[in-house]
Amino acid sequence: MKRVKKALKKALGIQTATEAGEATLLIGLRNPGAKYAGTRHNIGADAVAVVADRIPASFRSAPRGIPAQVADGRIADSRVRLAMPTTFMNESGQAVGPLIRYFSPESFIVAHDDIDLAFGTMRIHHGRGSGGHNGIKSIVDTTGGTEFWRLRIGVGRPPGRMDPADFVLQRFSTDEEAEILLQEAADVLEAFVAGGVEAARQAAGDLKRG
């Protein structure tokens, strides 16, 4: 965990790209409900929840009937707004589109699972396609574009011939130490808020395992 703190410390040392008074929006994708709690598909929302616990901040229903939960707080000297859709993953755009239109954030990032990255690897991307991720596809279809930041969190590849759809709905094994990955993903999200894109990329690179 020392290298996690070191990476975050370096990231926070970079000047923030978010102006004072403007809230950066962190969105974590998931499937709602106890049935899906702790699954690979939910790691984006779970990482945002870790950030909320650290601040701390409490989630509430989003305004104007937007199907999401939101929370507000500060990281370093920057304001942050956290959001988790209450839609199912394949309908994420129904929440993300209205969230962006309502809050008009200066900057925002969507955190989500990715089976094309080795477990524990993280990448910051902008302006790319969905890569087969149905939550991202829904956001692209709803917003009409790919011009947004994403934190891709590697959850590993399905073993053998397992259907990827079944794999991402599984929970992590004890050996994978998912709690460490969650804390590291939260570090990257905090770096994005406090230090901007390059800070987040630096943190993600320093934390890469595979």
Active site residues: 41
> Backbone dihedral region of 149: left (phi > 0), alpha (psi from -120 to 50 degrees) or beta?
beta
Q: Which amino acid is at 11?
A: A
CA-derived radius of gyration, the chain: 16
Q: How far apart are CA 135 and CA 158, in angstroms?
A: 18
Task: State the DSSP string of 79-90.
Answer: EEEEEEESS-GG
Task: State the DSSP string of 59-77.
Answer: -EEPGGG-SEEEEEEEETT
Q: Which amino acid is at 125?
A: H
